[in-house]
Amino acid sequence: MATVTLKGNPIHTSGDLPAVGAAAPDFVLTGGDLKDCSLRDFAGKRKVLNIVPSLDTEVCATSTRRFNEKAGALGNAVVLVVSADLPFASKRFCTVEGLANVVPLSMLRSKHFAKDYGVLLEDGPLAGLCARAVVVLDEKDRVIHRQLVPEIAQEPDYEAALKAVRG
């Protein structure tokens, strides 16, 4: 269990992020077309998992925009934005914002992703949503970078994540 804060107030997560060097837990998340997606759908690519509580918040929207801006230059990589938002809302957000370089994925059908990645918020006003985190996976789904953002209202370290993607 890890502890993050929301405006200085401690909130506990369900566990810890997977360790650098570990195999990433597989997942089943829901895409904007309501189809299930898993790691194998992005096989052979580096993956940036931009994990956010909800795209309906300023910081989550900002991080998604920033990763979208940088994603076009990443080459053999994909940015997956994981939230508890409904797939319709995530897809609409990306469409309205013109964000074509990120893939929004929803925990609509299960919170296994959040539990397996240790980011499920266990208490506080956002209980049931994800903590803000970034996990970068290599082409073989090994963790090469991870950051649990200590304050939910803060943005992640974009440069550290992008450096990991570039190798």
Q: What is the pLDDT of residues 67-108, one digit of tens each?
A: 999 987 888 899 999 999 999 999 999 999 999 999 999 999
- The beta strand positions in 9-167, using DSSP E, are 9-12, 29-30, 36-37, 46-51, 77-83, 102-106, 133-137, 143-148
Q: Provide the whole-model pTM.
A: 0.95
**C-alpha to C-alpha distance for 49 and 58, rounded to whole angstroms:** 18
Going by the DSSP 8-state scheme, the letter that residue 42 receives in this structure is G
* pLDDT reported for residue 73: 81
Residues 6+ away with beta carbon under 8 Å from 161: 48, 67, 134, 136, 145, 147
* pLDDT reported for residue 116: 97
**C-alpha to C-alpha distance for 91 and 130, rounded to whole angstroms:** 18
Query: Which CATH number covers residue 52?
Result: 3.40.30.10
- Number of structural domains found in the chain: 1
Residues of the chain whose pLDDT is less than 70?
none
* pLDDT reported for residue 72: 73
Task: Please classify residue 127 by burial: count the beta carbons closer than 10 Å to its beta carbon, then call 0-12 exposed, 13-18 middle and 19+ buried.
Answer: exposed
Q: Is 130:53 a contact under the CB 8 Å cutoff? A: yes
49 lies in which domain range? 3-166
Residues designated as active site: 60
